[in-house]
Amino acid sequence: MLDKLSRKIERAKYAAGSYLHDQLDQTQAHVTSYAVAIGLYAAAAIFLIATILVGAMAGFRWTEFNYGHFEAFGALADLLGALMVGFTFLAIYRSQRPAKRIMPLASRLRVAISSSPSRDEIAPAATIASLATRSSEARGGAAISALVVASSLFGWAMLRRRNLRRSA
């Protein structure tokens, strides 16, 4: 009787340890995700400032010379704008990733106490694992679609600009 009770207590310890490990992993994932998102938002802000400066220089040069180096400044501003949009979408994707689902502690304790393995076998922490997560394809579908649309529009604008320059 005492041996049976000690095994149940040992299984409850394993379940609590597994739960604590999963909670710490989830917290670490949140902190990492937010740190990466902050860095990407900072990069997007830098490219936004650079885009505004290049656009202002390009507008000044255009009004001064009417044509000339304007195309080079405009192309540089377009490139910086595309990088800004890319970093922004990447930051949004990183900050909106779904959290890993964790089996509640009460459920783990219930399973650990109610199970009755053989005398020699004690359930390791790996058998009281977390629930399965969704596939990575389902997580990033919207962000990848947005990046494809943005890059397609950017390419279309560059081709249109090139064709207009050739026809003029």
pLDDT tens digits in sequence order for the chain, 168 residues long? 778 888 888 888 888 888 889 889 888 988 988 899 899 889 988 988 888 788 767 766 665 665 556 666 666 677 778 878 888 888 888 877 777 787 787 887 787 777 766 554 554 554 545 444 455 445 556 777 777 777 888 888 888 888 888 886
Give the whole-angstrom CA distance, residue 48 versus residue 80. 8
* Cβ proximity of 14 and 105 under 8 Å: no
Residue 128: Cβ-neighbour burial (10 angstroms; 0-12, 13-18, 19+): buried
Tokens (6 digits) for 27: 């917290």
Give the whole-angstrom CA distance, residue 161 versus residue 138. 36
Please give the model's pTM, rounded to 2 decimal places.
0.39
Give the whole-angstrom CA distance, residue 96 versus residue 44. 17
